[in-house]
Amino acid sequence: MAKEPQTPLEDELARQEQEAEVTDQSAEERLVEGELEGLIDDDAPLKDSAGSPEADVLAAQVEELEQSLAEAKDQALRAAAEAQNVRRRAEQEAEKARKFALEKFVKELLPVVDSLEKALESMQDDASEAHREGVSMTLKMQLDVLSKFGVESIEPQGEPFDPQVHEAMAMVPNPELDPN
């Protein structure tokens, strides 16, 4: 999925969020690693007292801290994935909102195009050339604006009915044409 160009403010906010996530994760890791280092200053004394109860307690604490570190890393990874999913969903919803807003706007403009076309068709021969040219230019401008936003004119006359492209207004039986 191509990413839309963002404003400098959105770029800065995204950058700050990423830095905060990395900082939080690395702070947790440093804390747990610091606790591990505080408990284990040197491997040699542990080897000397391998069977002592103190060594067993320290080994249990080390194992517990390593498990805690693994859980913290897992939680940080899950939080980052959740943030990414939220961001992706927000982008999709914004895209849908733009699409549907444009669709509604275009549906409101189509009757204007229809009216301009009808006005051009119904002009009498005695209508001034300037008036005809003005309506024609206005219609052309309107069609250009619509095409800029991906709205295309279709000529369904003589084509089979396709519900993906056409909108049925009424059904009139015609023995000269095939159904649809």
> Residue 57: which CATH number?
3.90.20.20
Give me the chain's average pLDDT, please.
79
| Out of 6-10, 67-71, 167-171, least confident range | 6-10
What's the pLDDT tens digit per position in 44-93?
A: 454 555 568 888 899 999 999 999 999 999 999 999 999 999 999 999 99
Q: Provide the 3-class DSSP secondary structure of residue 157.
A: coil
What is each CA distance from 133 to 31, 53, 153, in whole angstroms? 77, 101, 21
Count of structural domains, the chain: 1
Residue 150 has pLDDT above 90, yes or no: no
Q: Is residue 42 part of a domain?
A: yes
Residue 15 has pLDDT above 80, yes or no: no
The tokens describing 25, both together, are 């994760």
* Residue 5 burial (10 A CB sphere; 0-12, 13-18, 19+): exposed
The tokens describing 175, both together, are 């023995």
Q: How many CA atoms lie within 13 A of 13 on its CB side?
A: 6
For residue 24, the one-letter residue type is D
Domain that holds residue 81: 8-148
CA 144/CA 109 separation, integer angstroms: 12
What's the pLDDT tens digit per position in 81-132?
A: 999 999 999 999 999 998 888 888 888 888 998 898 898 888 877 778 888 8
Q: What is the pLDDT of residue 30?
A: 67
Q: What is the pLDDT of residue 1?
A: 47
Q: Is residue 24 part of a domain?
A: yes
